[in-house]
Amino acid sequence: MTAVEEWKRLLDESGELTSGAADRIIATHGDRGVRAIEAVGEERVKQYRDFTVVVGHSDEYVVEDGTCDCEDSRYNLDPEDPTQLCWHVIATKIARRIDAVDHHDMWYSEVREFL
């Protein structure tokens, strides 16, 4: 079992972000894990009809099919290594497992036009 599978299992079992799961996320992902946990706690993982979006401090990032459109994902991470995930993807995985996604019954593509 990979480190990512381990923390996902912990979340699935408890249904909440326990200290043990948080410790495992941070041990696996470092600062990215910390930022992901903060985003979930601040309800910045949004689900629209067409995309999941994680609200960052300066932009919003689309997470789709376990991938993200951020520069960290494009330039810094090895797509072949399952432990290398940007904090937006980590936050999405956490939020989905603990039912902490903020749902919006609208199309993000329409909302994005106004941002």
* CA distance from start to end of the chain: 41
Q: Taking 90 as the threshold, does the pLDDT of residue 88 lie above it?
A: yes
Q: What is the mean pLDDT of residues 99-104?
A: 96
Banded pLDDT at 115 (limits 50, 70, 90):
low
The per-residue b/e assignment along 62-92, b for 16 or more CB within 10 angstroms, e otherwise, is bbeeeebebebbeeebeeeeeebbbbbbbbb
95 backbone dihedrals φ, ψ, rounded to 5°: -60, -40
Model confidence pLDDT, tens digit, residues 10-59: 999 999 999 999 999 999 999 999 999 999 999 999 999 988 999 998 89
